Amino acid sequence: MKLKNILFLPLLFSFVFSVAAQENRKGGGFDIDAFIKKKSEYLKKELNLTDAEAKAFIPLEAEFSKKKFEVNRDARKETRELKKKQNKTDADYKRIVQLDLQSERKESELQIEYFRKFATVLPAEKLEKYRSADIKYKEEALKRHQEKKYQLREKLD
């Protein structure tokens, strides 16, 4: 996997869940458990998981996804607050950058921890396929969200 894709993954994940969290606040009905369930079905198919692999891997992957969501929660919250602030200071921007870097570091640590766990239940080939499938699923989820947002705008216009 290319380095830019590895660096892009945390940003994409954070954005997808940030958007989803915003939808939830606005009554858009985002449900992280439903998102994870759909992702699990997608991963079972994409990785061609056996029943035994799915039984061991899917709960770990769901746990990993939820923990990544939690890790980024503070950065998302403060970023939203900064966007609302009228007179942003240099200190405000520095704080957001620091929070983002901290959440990326924590997310990387989680990724290392969980990929070690994944390696105990999946062969290396499927583990590598998971990395690509995870990115692809998030990109598709973002695309679906953008299409939904566009359709909603058209209805309101």
**Tens of pLDDT along 64-119?**
999 998 888 888 888 888 878 889 899 988 988 888 899 999 999 999 999 999 99
Residue 46: is its pLDDT beyond 50?
yes
pTM here is: 0.73
Residue 8: is its pLDDT beyond 60?
no
Q: What is the mean pLDDT of the chain?
A: 83
Question: What's the pLDDT at 41?
Answer: 96
Measured CA distances, 100 to 105, 106, 120 (Å): 9, 10, 30
Residue 4: is its pLDDT beyond 60?
no
